[in-house]
Structure 1
Amino acid sequence: MSQESLFVNDEKYQKPLLLLSLQPQYWQLVLSGEKKFEYRRLFRKDAVQAYIYLSSPRKEIVGFIDFDVPLISSPKEIADLAESQSPGSYKGMMEYLGTRDNGFAIPILSYDSFEGIPLADLRERFGFTAPQSYLVLDNNPALRDFIRARHLGE
């Protein structure tokens, strides 16, 4: 899917831009269309867009996701949603969310993949360290613009 239209100049369509760490197997589920939500213990309460950094063994930025406003609810309700999307995931989701009061189910609106940007390149150019969860790219315009240019083939 091409997502160039996501970068509309009209301010009302702009969302915060993040770099989100994801395990490679979950990115594959996004690409196959099986994964409709990203689940997190902690997250922002607003709709965001995110570049996707795949953790080990890939260690590269490979894609982009446009997210809707997260559903914030009890672990049981988040686990019920996960179970409805992926039968057999209830127990694992309950373990993941643990004793938290709330969890986040972040709807995936659209996604795009592109040629990976290796961690080594990011370290060399920006002194980049991969985030455990996410980082706000709007706070690092040079890194943001570099990733965006690679994404859009500029």
Structure 2
Amino acid sequence: MDVLLSIKPKFAEAIIDGRKRYEFRKSKFANKDINRVYIYATSPIKKIIGIFKISNIIEESPSALWDLLKDHAGISEEEFFNYFGNKGTGFAIEIKSVEKFENPIDPKTLIPNFVPPQSFHYIKIQSK
């Protein structure tokens, strides 16, 4: 199983260029068997710009996540805590093996009736 993550363009680019080694989420994937994560850069790009594999998923309080990972978060402290708000638990997806697509993909060519997910969407895409 693969997953498509909606990520703001500035953070998607930070993942691609290696400045952001963790993607933070308020909830975890119910499916534990994720092979690949497709990076969907949201508006104005609206394309799948790359792919990565998950090394680990860390579950902690937002404060603990920030203390542990701030040097590789690729996000400001203010943006980080604004994102989590008053959540007691957060998740950090450790990113490995990032691949940037030479030609970003219009998701509508892969997923019929594509609607950008608020957070993530499970997908099955055939490898080429």
What's the TM-score bracket when you normalise by the shorter of the two chains? 0.7 to 0.9
Alpha-carbon distance between aligned partners in 1 of 2:48 and 2:75, rounded to the nearest angstrom? 29
Structure 1 pair 99–55 and aligned structure 2 pair: CA distance change class (3 A): same
Code of the residue aligned with 1:134 in structure 2: it is F
Secondary structure of 2:115's aligned partner: coil
Question: Going by fraction, where is strand more abundant, 1 or 2?
Answer: 2
Q: 1:127 aligns with which of 108, 113, 116?
A: 113
What is the count of residue pairs matched by the alignment? 125
TM-score normalised by the chain length of structure 2: 0.83
Q: Which runs of 5+ in 1 are unaligned?
A: 1-15, 139-143, 150-154
Bigger helix share: 1
Offset of residue 106 of structure 1: 0.7
Provide the C-alpha distance between the structure 2 equivalents of 1:134 and 1:106, rounded to a whole number of angstroms.
Answer: 13
Moved over 4 A (4+): none
Q: Does 1:36 align with 2:24?
A: no
Q: CA deviation at 1:75?
A: 1.2
Is 1:118–2:106 an aligned residue pair? yes
Higher radius of gyration, 1 or 2: 1
| More divergent stretch after superposition (90-99 vs 108-117) | 90-99
The residue number in structure 2 matching 1:101 is: 88
CA distance in 1, matches of 2:109, 2:94: 31
Identity of aligned residues (%): 28
Q: Relative contact order (alpha carbons < 8 A, sep ≥ 6): 1 or 2 greater?
A: 2
> How do residues 1-154 of structure 1 correspond to structure 2 at under 5 angstroms?
16-44=1-29, 46=32, 48=34, 49-85=36-72, 89-114=76-101, 115-119=103-107, 122=108, 126-138=112-124, 144-145=125-126, 148-149=127-128
Report SS of the residue matched to 1:105.
strand
Deviation of the 1:54 alpha carbon: 1.0
Superposition RMSD on alpha carbons, in Å?
Answer: 2.4
Unaligned runs of 5+ in 2: none
Distance 1:81 1:64 in 2: 24
